[in-house]
Structure 1
Amino acid sequence: MNNSLQRAQIEPIMDNLPRPDWSVMIPTYDCAGYLAETLRSVLDQAPGPEDMQIEVVDDGSTDDPEAVVRAVGGDRVSFYRQPSNVGHILNFATCLSRARGRYVHLLHGDDRVEPGFYEALQQGFESSPDIGAAFCRHRYIDGDGKELSIPDPEQPRAGVLTAGVERLAEEQRIMTPSITVRREVYEELGGFDPRLVCSEDWEMWVRIAARYPVWYEPEVLAGYRMHEESNTGRHFRMAEELGYTRRAIEMFTPYLPPNRARDIARRARSTYADTALNNARRFARSGDRQGMQAHLLEAVRMSATPGVLRQAARIALSGGFVAGDAEAA
């Protein structure tokens, strides 16, 4: 099946009206409690409306995000509400279609950026017309905004990411608030794939990196919030997000260099099999046999190598997992 048929088509802007450099598009769904922080993080470094469009696109929330927009952003921030709940993938497509800027930043309504974000990434785009996307290092934050961790830098200095498509395909290295994309790239490659409820962002970044150089900024300039009501958090316990990770690997493998695609995909599956095993260990220690079982099964589906099978068996025995449970699953 042609993957492109599944994705929203992002039409070019054909009018002759002035366009800003930036479109900061903020999709929301029942995250109004975080939205004020998100908006302030943008407004504190935003140029005027002639240079930056800022718009919240709401997917039928029940917690009145428009009131937050008006209180924090006044007339500087636009607000668009979907007529009905369409799901986050189609809401992303609406964001991309409504964006008028040359560079599009899709910033979830519970994430944030830090001072200097837009200036640093614009330098990446301006370094070469070939750059398709630019991203920075990020920090993971909790529901209260406290730092949880910061990934190691991908490379020591700002510049085009070395071996970009291979590195981005081996592991999900980019969190959505940290990346910006030329609008014309979305016009060419289409929107996010609706067959992925999770990992739709990873598939998109690999799709872009397979066609364009990607710029990397090692400064920590974005915050990705980890909480139970996030999209990933809702799909964590039963390993659903890892099932979508596996599907994303299957989908983006054809984009990879043909002579290396098989090895890159194998390394990606091995990485996330290890993730599933580590998750299973945590569930086993906490006495959650159902969560343990789900992650063990996903580890084996991801990479049924002898090493993974041995580790899965040891974890299963330590957590009281028996064959009948597997049959029931």
Structure 2
Amino acid sequence: MSLSQESQQPLVSVIIPTYNRPEYLNQAIASAVKQTYQNIEIIVSDNCSPENPQALVASFGDSRIRFWRHQQNVGMIANQQHGFKMARGKYVASLHDDDIWNEDFLAKLVPPLEANSELILAFSDQYIIDANSIINNTGTEENTRAYKRDKLTKGIHQPFYKIGLVDKSIPTAASCVIRNNIIDWDSMPSEVGGMWDLYLTYLCCISGYGAYYYPERLTRYRAHEQTDTMLSGSRDMQAKIRKAKSEMFCYQVFMEDARLQQFKTYFQQKWLEANTTLGIGLLRSEQIAAARPYFWQALNQQKFDVRTIAALSLSFTPRFFAGKLIESSK
């Protein structure tokens, strides 16, 4: 691409929040540097990793890379938001430090946004890769179907409440380019925690702008034990508790938004499920008294739910027996 062509391209800010994953980070940065769309800045925001990745970042020798290191761990969402706030581009795109972009990711998603000022974001489908960066073909197909991207038509969707907040078709954190000046990055409360990407989708939905879907797999999303979406099978109960609290907060906000009333029943059901999930997490952490109110709250609003009733029953089971049952249910 000539310098004149590059100068005519709008600047895209690539946000890479990172914490203690140097090998993956190296792959993520490399995939950003190799973009065929060249007018980018790459913001690497390090959340005070035990091993400072500054030397790794500098080894790329790319003047488009900006590095920031927090002096103390500020938490995942604050680190992510810091990167967004540093962005100077017309568009922003989040790239997790364990994910990888195809070389044409930005080249295919920026043009639809440039062609239509009424769009706030453009997104694509994604591959699922494992810890060794190998594509999981079965997992990829399941992921596409689970988020209903196999049924999603190419082009503009407006409004996009359903595909964004119900179907969750938009992978805001990994396969999405967003128009920067519309989002107030300070409007994302800390309570959203690990669900920040869903809340960001919500902010985009209520903006009144449209979304553009490009039905090609342009990114590689890494599924492994440290991934938020893998927590359901994880033994890290504190992470599960945090995730459930974040879900409860988000769905409470969605339920109360008058613009989303047609989906209120769905959001309420997800909120109730999060109550039960939080209760189970507390129960497994032997915080029995703290767990029960969440079970009762869930049952008060849905009279019969096998999962909630079973969990509540366990909380009244003699401690040793309950411990065995809880362990066997993991």
Which one of 308, 316, 320 corresponds to residue 323 of structure 1? Answer: 316
Q: Quick one: distance in 2 between partners of 1:300 and 1:142?
A: 39
Judge conservation of contact 1:59–1:88 (CA < 8 Å) in 2: yes
2:138 aligned with 1:136? no
Tell me which amino acid in the other structure corresponds to 2:33: L
Judge conservation of contact 1:138–1:223 (CA < 8 Å) in 2: yes
Which one of 79, 89, 95 corresponds to residue 77 of structure 2? Answer: 89
Helix, strand or coil: the match of 2:93? strand
Which one of 250, 258, 275 corresponds to residue 252 of structure 2? Answer: 250
Q: Quick one: distance in 2 between partners of 1:96 and 1:122?
A: 18
2:200 aligned with 1:204? yes
Which one of 85, 101, 107 corresponds to residue 89 of structure 2? Answer: 101
Judge conservation of contact 1:28–1:56 (CA < 8 Å) in 2: yes
2:266 aligned with 1:267? yes
Q: Give the corresponding residue for 2:13.
A: 23
Q: Give the corresponding residue for 2:165.
A: 169
Q: CA deviation at 1:78?
A: 2.5
Matches within 5 A, 1:211-250: 211=207, 212-230=209-227, 233=231, 238-250=240-252
2:284 aligned with 1:290? yes
Deviates more, 1:299-308 or 1:218-227: 299-308
Q: Quick one: distance in 1 between partners of 2:237 and 2:83?
A: 23
Q: Quick one: distance in 2 between partners of 1:79 and 1:139?
A: 28
Tell me which amino acid in the other structure corresponds to 1:218: P
Q: Sequence identity of aligned pairs in percent? A: 20
| Residues 47 and 203 of structure 1, relative CA distance in 2, 3 Å threshold | closer
Q: CA deviation at 1:24?
A: 0.6
Query: Relative contact order (alpha carbons < 8 A, sep ≥ 6): 1 or 2 greater?
Result: 1
Q: Quick one: distance in 2 between partners of 1:246 and 1:96?
A: 24
Tell me which amino acid in the other structure corresponds to 1:28: T
Helix, strand or coil: the match of 1:197? helix
Q: Quick one: distance in 2 between partners of 1:295 and 1:96?
A: 36
Q: CA deviation at 1:209?
A: 0.7
Q: Give the corresponding residue for 2:302.
A: 305
Judge conservation of contact 2:125–2:144 (CA < 8 Å) in 1: yes
Matches within 5 A, 1:21-60: 21-48=11-38, 51-60=39-48
2:172 aligned with 1:178? no
Task: Report the count of equivalent residues.
Answer: 296
Q: Quick one: distance in 2 between partners of 1:21 and 1:268?
A: 36
Q: CA deviation at 1:204?
A: 1.7
Q: Quick one: distance in 2 between partners of 1:226 and 1:216?
A: 23
Judge conservation of contact 1:136–1:179 (CA < 8 Å) in 2: yes
- Give structure 2 stretches of 5+ with no counterpart: 1-7, 324-330
Q: CA deviation at 1:164?
A: 0.7
Q: Quick one: distance in 2 between partners of 1:279 and 1:223?
A: 30
Judge conservation of contact 2:275–2:295 (CA < 8 Å) in 1: yes
Helix, strand or coil: the match of 1:143? coil
Q: Quick one: distance in 2 between partners of 1:213 and 1:290?
A: 43
Q: Quick one: distance in 1 between partners of 2:200 and 2:212?
A: 15
TM-score by length of 2: 0.74
| Residues 84 and 183 of structure 1, relative CA distance in 2, 3 Å threshold | same
Q: CA deviation at 1:166?
A: 3.2
TM-score by length of 1: 0.74
2:101 aligned with 1:113? yes
Q: Quick one: distance in 2 between partners of 1:218 and 1:34?
A: 26
Q: Give the corresponding residue for 1:65.
A: 53
- Give structure 1 stretches of 5+ with no counterpart: 1-17, 284-288
Which one of 151, 155, 166 corresponds to residue 159 of structure 1? Answer: 155
Q: Quick one: distance in 1 between partners of 2:104 and 2:312?
A: 48
Tell me which amino acid in the other structure corresponds to 2:79: N
Tell me which amino acid in the other structure corresponds to 1:52: I
Q: CA deviation at 1:87?
A: 2.1
Q: Quick one: distance in 2 between partners of 1:192 and 1:118?
A: 25
